[in-house]
A and B are shown apart, each in its own frame.
Chain A
Amino acid sequence: DAGVIQSPRHEVTEMGQEVTLRCKPISGHNSLFWYRQTMMRGLELLIYFNNNVPIDDSGMPEDRFSAKMPNASFSTLKIQPSEPRDSAVYFCASSSGEGEPQHFGDGTRLSIL
């Protein structure tokens, strides 16, 4: 079975550029999560969706961050404009229900120069 698929795996770009991260959840899962992982702050929940609807975006750090889920099989996390402090590994995860295990992709390692 295909797991959560994220692209790209690595992204290096210059400060001020727009960055778009992509995620395909596991088929049949109705919840999708975006996390950010850094050495300083650990793993932080940015936003999650239920049935394609954003439920809680309280973890999104700034207005420069936005996330969409146009359908059940695709989500994007966009940073515009990007800044060096946005450098981190961004993970997407999906689950089949509340309180159920979350399945993670292998992440996008983002470096903003």
Chain B
Amino acid sequence: SQQGEEDPQALSIQEGENATMNCSYKTSINNLQWYRQNSGRGLVHLILIRSNEREKHSGRLRVTLDTSKKSSSLLITASRAADTASYFCATDVVGDSSYKLIFGSGTRLLVRP
């Protein structure tokens, strides 16, 4: 069963614009992670946010977590063509091993030059 669901499924923006992707999940978590996948490649870890954190930044990335709403958002500022990829959220489940991540279905981001 899927824990995380990303929204939107696909997003097309112009280079320089900001991109926002959302993730909703169903059960209590210890942490939530965001990954990027370029076509034909493996997933690359972007950022991890723990359940007691509300916001985290890394370069042009900003992640928020609202545990009361069981949702997270990933904001990419000043997007570049190289940001074109699929983005996935992944969560663990409280009561289960935090080694086990459940991935959402992903958001496909296209950044037009």
Q: Which residue numbers of A lie inside 8 Å of B, CB to CB?
A: 4, 31, 33, 42-43, 45, 48, 50, 55-56, 91, 93, 95, 98-107
Contact = CB atoms under 8 A, between A and B. Distances in A.
A100 B44 CA distance: 13
Contacts of A100: 48
Nearest to A39: B105
Given A42-B106, A104-B43, 15 more contacts: A31-B99, A42-B104, A48-B99, A55-B97, A93-B43, A99-B31, A99-B99, A101-B33, A101-B48, A102-B45, A104-B35, A104-B44, A105-B42, A106-B41, A107-B42
Contact of B92 (A33, A55, A99): A99
B97 A98 contact: yes
Contact of B45 (A43, A99, A103, A105): A103
B42 A43 contact: no
B90 to A, nearest CB: 8
Nearest to A99: B98
A108 B48 CA distance: 26
Chain B interface main SS type: loop
A56 B97 contact: yes
Nearest to A107: B42
A100 B98 CA distance: 8
Size category of the B interface is 20 to 34
13 contacts: A31-B99, A42-B103, A42-B105, A45-B100, A45-B102, A48-B99, A48-B100, A55-B97, A99-B98, A101-B33, A102-B101, A104-B42, A104-B44
A103 B41 CA distance: 12
List the 7 shortest-distance A-B pairs measured between CB atoms, nearest first: A104-B42, A101-B45, A99-B98, A43-B103, A104-B43, A98-B98, A106-B42
